[in-house]
Structure 1
Amino acid sequence: MACQALVESLPAEADHPDVGGEERRKVGMPVYVMMPLDTVRKDGNGLNRRKAVEASLRALKSAGAEGIMVDVWWGIAESDGPGRYNFTGYMELMEMAKKNGLKVQAVMSFHQCGGNVGDSVTIPLPKWALEEMDKDQDLAYTDQGGRRNYEYVSLGADTLPALKGRTPVQCYGDFLRAFRDHFASFMGNTLVEIQVGMGPAGELRYPSYPESNGTWSFPGIGEFQCYDKYMLSSLKAAAEAVGKPEWGNAGPGDAGGYKNWPEDTAFFRREGGWNTPYGEFS
């Protein structure tokens, strides 16, 4: 019934018998098409398959698309070194979109590409950032077995000047300002939206279910990622703040592993530990 009501509420073509194709598009929703993950070359100096990209943009415009969406990879645009930004490939795409009358939604992607659903290419974090993570592996999310995940810098390190003298948050802020300065002339006309990725796969989450190397498979519950020393320090502080210091030593010990189903565990099963004051804290 809800679907029927929605359909009935949409403008019918018969209601606009004399309206041309351009006018019909105005009553619909604008469509933005996601560009391939590897649209920009890994060295940042241009587009992959440039002729194919240009032909695709022309086809999208002809089909009535409003614009495109593209990942702006941290691992590409700041790969040359801290504070050394190369937006050449993205500038070429922006100019091409403008030429074809398309708008652009840019996604600031501060995560690794590769190892998740739909990842057809691998684009790691900037080499200089990974070097610092190799020196201090607690900058990476860590599970109860000590596995490190390099998809994204751990939130536990947000305020630490661990990336060549800058905090991760400072790195992200500097990147955004550099992007703004490079594309100022496109803002508000061709470049109409900027989204910011907040974690692995660009999502506001922990890397609790990594597909790479078969670590996790659907419908496994995944694992807590609070075992790097910085996350443990944050956990300890939070536990002490609520008067339960005993909760701050580790994640739940009965939450199972990556591939377990909820009912396999004492913590996640129906009426399990998740449904307790400790579970709510966790």
Structure 2
Amino acid sequence: MTATHSPAQLWIAGARPRTLPAAVAPVLAGTGAAAYSDSVVWWKALLALGVSLALQIGVNYANDYSDGIKGTDDDRVGPLRLVGSGLVPARRVKAAALLFLGIGGALGFVLAATSSWWLLLVGIAALGAAWTYTGGPSPYGYRALGEVSVFVFFGLVAVLGTAYVQVEDITAPAVAAAIGIGSLACAILVANNLRDIPTDSVTGKRTLAVVLGDAGTRRLYGLLMVVAIGALVWAAFSTPWALLGLVALPLIGRAASIVASGAQGMALIPVLRDSGLIELVYAAGLAIGLTIGG
């Protein structure tokens, strides 16, 4: 790291503003599903939060490192990247990525050891997905598969895993919550990649947004919001209180209207902010509803 950049600045760059909502939301939703079954185990919920936060930060660093050494961040519209901007040596960012992914793996090992050992296989898959999203010789994030991975690992796995280690069962409210959170996590990436279509097209980063094009990506963002609302309706069959997740509707409307308006470049930054808030508020409302309903 250069002499003008402290470890604290390196940490802040890795823990981007949308990292905390994206890490907290699936654990909130999963714990809400556990509360519905009257099976909350708080120390396991906190361990799951540690896993989620560590993996989110590790993924941020891993993407910064891999995109930076490939040159895809050389002309970036969004927030400054550490490696692409030359602010921090690539080896330092790589070390930070491996550190946080290692912390996430260690905490996940404890959860698996106290729940079900088959969760270790899920954890190994998650770590592999985190690194190969933009890293390695054939990153799947460059082949329009990033959204699939986010839905699976930061939606289904994160929510169902959080619920399972507490309830030791897969319940309908947990599945509904996982689909809703997965859709909203995808929406964050869709908004990010919508903003980056011009630069990604030039650098050869074939994201789903590049494949779908501008108009198709905007439609996908709206569809993901509809799916998230539909997941609340499904959860409401277990308890109508699940509809408290609709407290996120004003934020959904604001973000979706900006996307539908054709905003581009830096004008999409508020959508990224709102998308993270939507996921967090949605998860909190749903968790409270499931807790009351249970």
Question: What TM-score comes out, normalization by structure 1 length?
Answer: 0.27
Q: Which has the higher contact order (CA 8 A, sep 6+)?
A: 2
**Larger strand fraction of residues:** 1
**Larger helix fraction of residues:** 2
